[in-house]
């Protein structure tokens, strides 16, 4: 009787990871009945469930194997020990997190990925299994690349950056090097001609998709991986050296040529200028914004680590990122290792880096003792890991399940291709029972999180109704997930009674304070006549984000009633923020905030100096012109595309009201600076044209 081929289940996980692991687990959006299947494949509403489906086959196989086998193939003790330390401190950070529900969900996904790594080492074997796992992941990645190519072909914009079914083009670019480099390794290792051709096709498809992402960082990471591969194959290729080196150069060159041809064909369909290579060729035009914002994020991460070296809780960077006052709240740190340091602490970060370093050292050992095909395959796996590490230095790929699975799956394969990377060990009943329980609890925990997110998405779909059905769904879910701060914030939107709205908002803050909820709480307390309570909520928001423009603007309005001097000070701070990187370098440069311009108008109305008034209003109007030039076109595009929520929450009506406010200031400016009437007339004409253009959309 043949032994069970556990690696078949792990191969299912490897194939599904690129297809279902490309979305971030965000606060669930509205999920209409019948929309779950499509959400699993390409929407954040279904991300938690999709991620559970990805890891289910591998962890189920691991649990089954632990129940049946007394001898397990285990990683070297040093590697297993450092990963154990990482897990320990990662879960320790969950206990101290202000947002425990979110932290637990993130920690569960990380635990699942690390269990997958152990399952790969324990169950894949050393011969056929690693090749099958590698082929499965490359096949899934090539299919995603095909989706990206199809997406580009269907667009009429030659500058379009493809997403495929991933959250954004840069995230997709973190996946594709696995397909290119892993595919090259499969070509070198395969003996079957059809397998070689299919692997070559996968390499070409992934390379075309990489070009179409327009990601400079992705191409840099892939270039590093290709250099590692070429050097490895040049040294270890033996009699096949020339053949494999030619493949490693010619197949990417073919992919590049096909990408250029596709871009040219798209450009011929439309009068629009540009190409898929335009963003890459004109890297300097976007470098300041992109690199500048990343730099601020990294500085913010460093400050957060220094302030709390034991971590703030997994998955919570998005809530704490604005505390140093350098950036607005951002979901990812755009650097996996810094984000791990912020969330899990320095010891966890050190353990993770040490584990990866030890794996790399093992991957370099004993190469010459292997057959040529094994040496070539190991070089490709090592190169893919090198490319992944490089990309993780500029993006948070480890926080996307697909690329996190890719890194640790390839790491497990690398150890299985290394003579001393792992060894069969007798595992006692207590060890096996503990590991099986851990894997079982991880699957159950992820199922619970997925169920909560799906139900929360359904509740959000009903939230605007304030119906008995919606209230019943909220009551049921509040018993199912009482510690989820997102649920209580959503429940507040559904409550008709002001006192109940306030209670639910306060419950949400106690489970996990967020800027939006604190501002809503301030509104409810102010409406109830509790000015002190409103001030307290806004000050709580400023503790999270000291430069938060909306909270500061609300404080101006609140203090203006009984403490105008204080209001003037805060309005002055708002104006000063315009000169800071926080205001100048934003994640979305097209999203122009207007709170500082409103503060300028408020200060101008209070000053008795015509010169000071003109200076304040001139700055405000220049800001509104920037809004008209950059934000309004994006609002129109989102309206034409019928994308829910508008551009950054700004809809057509919001943009119309903002431009109307700006037009009211033009007359004030003319009165304060009559010598600038020509500029005022030009400004008025521009703002009116921008406002009128909003009616040209087809929502």
Q: Please tell me the predicted confidence (pLDDT) of residue 566.
A: 94
Instruction: Please give the pLDDT value at position 427.
Output: 66
Over range 294-300, report the average pLDDT. 94
Dump pLDDT digits (tens) for 27-47. 878 888 888 888 888 888 889
Whether residue 284 is contained in a domain is answered as yes
- As to burial, measured by CB atoms within 10 angstroms (0-12 exposed, 13-18 middle, 19+ buried), residue 259 is buried
Q: Is residue 297 within 8 Å of residue 589, measured between CB atoms?
A: no
* CA neighbor of 161 nearest in space, from 291, 280, 253: 280
Q: Considering the domain boundaries, does residue 571 fall inside one?
A: no
Length of the chain: 699
Does any domain span residue 490?
no
Q: Is residue 293 one of the residues assigned to a domain?
A: yes
In a domain, 516, yes or no: no
Does some domain include residue 693? yes
pLDDT tens digits, one per residue of 14-30: 999 999 999 998 887 88
Q: Say what the pLDDT of residue 272 is.
A: 58
Question: Whole-angstrom Cα distance, residue 583 to residue 82?
Answer: 41
pLDDT: which is higher, 52 or 69: 52
> Residue 644 above 70 pLDDT?
no
Is the pLDDT confidence value at 387 over 70? yes
> What is the reported pLDDT for 1?
34
Half-sphere exposure of 593 (CA within 13 A, CB side): 22
**If phi over 0 gives left and psi between -120 and 50 gives alpha, with beta otherwise, what is residue 69?**
beta
* pLDDT tens-digit map of 93-147: 999 999 999 999 999 999 999 999 999 998 888 888 899 999 999 999 999 999 9
Boundary of a domain, candidates 397, 417, 445: 445
Q: What is the pLDDT of residue 287?
A: 55
Q: Give the mean model confidence (pLDDT) for residues 629-649.
A: 80
Q: Decide if 531 is inside a domain.
A: no
**Structural domain ending residue among the three candidates 445, 480, 502:** 445
Per-residue pLDDT of 430-472, as tens digits, reads 888 888 999 999 999 999 999 999 999 989 888 766 778 888 9
Q: What is the pLDDT of residues 248-293, one digit of tens each?
A: 899 999 988 988 888 888 777 766 566 666 656 555 555 556 678 8
The stretch 669-695 carries a mean pLDDT of 92
Residue 551 within a domain: no
DSSP conformation class of 665: H
Dist CA 396 CA 404 (whole Å) = 10
pLDDT digit string, tens, across residues 541-580: 999 999 999 999 999 999 998 899 999 999 999 999 999 9
Residue 11 pLDDT: 95
| Domain endpoint, select from 409, 430, 445 | 445
CA 533 to chain centre: 35
Structure tokens at 149: 């190519």
Question: What residues have CB less than 8 Å from 696, skipping those under 6 apart?
Answer: 636
Residue-averaged pLDDT of the chain: 90
pLDDT band at 645 (very low <50, low <70, confident <90, very high): low
Strands (E), 266-354: none
- Percent of the chain, pLDDT > 90? 69
| Domain, as residue range, for 698 | 588-699
The tally of domains found in the chain comes to: 2
Which H helix or E strand runs over 72? strand 71-75
What is the per-residue pLDDT across 497-522, written as a single tens digit (0 to 9) for each?
999 999 999 999 999 999 999 999 99
> pLDDT at position 72, please?
74
Q: How many CB atoms lie within 10 A of CB 528?
A: 14
**Least trusted range by pLDDT, from 164-173, 361-370, 508-517:** 361-370
Q: How many helices (H) and strands (E) does the chain have?
A: 31, 2
> Is 424 a residue whose pLDDT tops 70?
no
Residue 699 clears pLDDT 50, i.e. is over it: no
619-to-513, 565, 600 alpha-carbon distances in Å: 34, 22, 8
**pLDDT recorded at residue 96:** 92
Whole-angstrom distance, CA of residue 171 vs CA of residue 388:
12
């Amino acid at each position: 009787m043949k032994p069970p081929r556990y690696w078949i289940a792990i191969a299912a996980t490897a194939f599904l990871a690129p297809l279902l692991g490309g979305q971030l687990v965000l606060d669930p959006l509205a999920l209409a009945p019948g929309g779950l299947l499509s959400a699993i494949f390409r929407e954040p509403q279904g991300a938690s469930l999709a991620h559970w489906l990805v890891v289910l086959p591998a962890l189920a196989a691991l649990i089954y194997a632990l129940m049946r086998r007394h001898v397990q193939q285990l990683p070297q003790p040093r590697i297993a020990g450092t990963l154990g330390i990482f897990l320990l401190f990662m879960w320790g950070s969950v206990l101290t997190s202000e947002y425990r529900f979110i932290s637990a969900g993130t920690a569960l996904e990380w635990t699942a990925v690390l269990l997958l790594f152990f399952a790969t080492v324990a169950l894949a074997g050393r011969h056929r299994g690693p090749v099958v796992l590698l082929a499965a992941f490359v096949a899934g990645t090539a299919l995603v690349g095909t989706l990206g190519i199809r997406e580009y072909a269907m667009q009429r914009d030659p500058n379009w950056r493809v997403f495929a079914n991933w959250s954004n083009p840069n995230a997709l670019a973190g996946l594709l090097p696995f397909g290119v480099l892993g595919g090259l390794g499969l070509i070198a290792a395969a003996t079957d001609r059809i397998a070689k051709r299919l692997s070559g096709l996968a390499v070409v498809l992934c390379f075309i998709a990489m070009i179409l992402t327009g990601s400079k960082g992705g191409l840099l990471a892939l270039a590093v991986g290709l250099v590692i591969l070429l050097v490895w194959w040049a040294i270890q290729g033996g009699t096949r050296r020339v053949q494999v080196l030619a493949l490693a150069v010619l197949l990417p060159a073919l992919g590049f040529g096909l990408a250029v041809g596709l871009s040219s064909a798209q450009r011929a369909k439309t009068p629009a200028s540009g190409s898929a290579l335009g963003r890459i060729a004109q890297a300097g035009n976007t470098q300041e914004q992109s690199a500048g914002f990343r730099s601020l994020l990294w500085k913010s991460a460093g400050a957060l680590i220094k302030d709390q070296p034991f971590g703030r809780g997994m998955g919570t960077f998005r809530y704490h990122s604005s505390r140093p006052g350098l950036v607005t709240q951002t979901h990812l740190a755009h650097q996996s290792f810094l984000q791990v340091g912020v969330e899990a602490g320095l010891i966890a970060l050190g353990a993770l880096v040490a584990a990866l370093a030890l794996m790399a050292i093992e991957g370099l050992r004993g190469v010459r003792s292997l057959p040529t095909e094994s040496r070539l395959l190991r070089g490709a796996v090592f190169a893919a890991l090198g490319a992944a590490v490089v990309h993780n230095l500029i993006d948070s790929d480890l926080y996307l399940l697909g690329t996190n699975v890719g890194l640790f799956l390839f790491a497990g394969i690398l150890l299985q291709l290394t003579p001393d990377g792992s060894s069969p060990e007798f595992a006692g009943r207590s060890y096996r029972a503990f590991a099986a329980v851990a894997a079982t609890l991880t699957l159950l925990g992820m199922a619970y999180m997925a169920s909560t997110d799906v139900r929360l998405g359904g509740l959000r779909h009903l939230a605007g109704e304030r119906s008995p059905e919606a209230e019943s769904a909220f009551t049921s879910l509040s018993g199912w997930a009482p510690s989820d701060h997102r649920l209580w914030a959503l429940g507040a939107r559904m409550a008709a009674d002001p006192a109940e709205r306030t209670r639910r908002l306060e419950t949400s803050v106690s489970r996990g304070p967020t800027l939006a909820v604190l501002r809503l709480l301030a509104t409810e307390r102010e409406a109830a006549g509790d000015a002190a309570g409103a001030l307290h909520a806004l000050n709580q928001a400023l503790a999270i984000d000291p430069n938060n423009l909306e909270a500061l603007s609300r404080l101006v309005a609140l203090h203006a009633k009984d403490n105008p001097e204080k209001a003037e000070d805060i309005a002055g701070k708002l104006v000063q923020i315009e000169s800071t990187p926080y205001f100048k370098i934003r994640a979305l440069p097209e999203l122009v905030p207007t709170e500082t311009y409103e503060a300028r108008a408020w200060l101008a109305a209070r000053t008795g100096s015509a010169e000071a008034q003109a200076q304040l209003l001139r700055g405000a109007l220049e800001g509104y012109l920037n809004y008209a030039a950059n934000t309004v076109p994006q609002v129109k595009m989102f309206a034409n595309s019928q994308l829910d929520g508008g551009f950054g929450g700004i809809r057509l009506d919001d943009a119309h009201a903002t431009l109307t406010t700006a037009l009211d200031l033009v007359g004030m400016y003319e009165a304060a600076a009559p010598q600038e009437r020509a500029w005022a007339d030009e400004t008025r004409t521009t703002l009116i044209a921008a406002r009128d253009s909003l009616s040209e959309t087809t929502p």
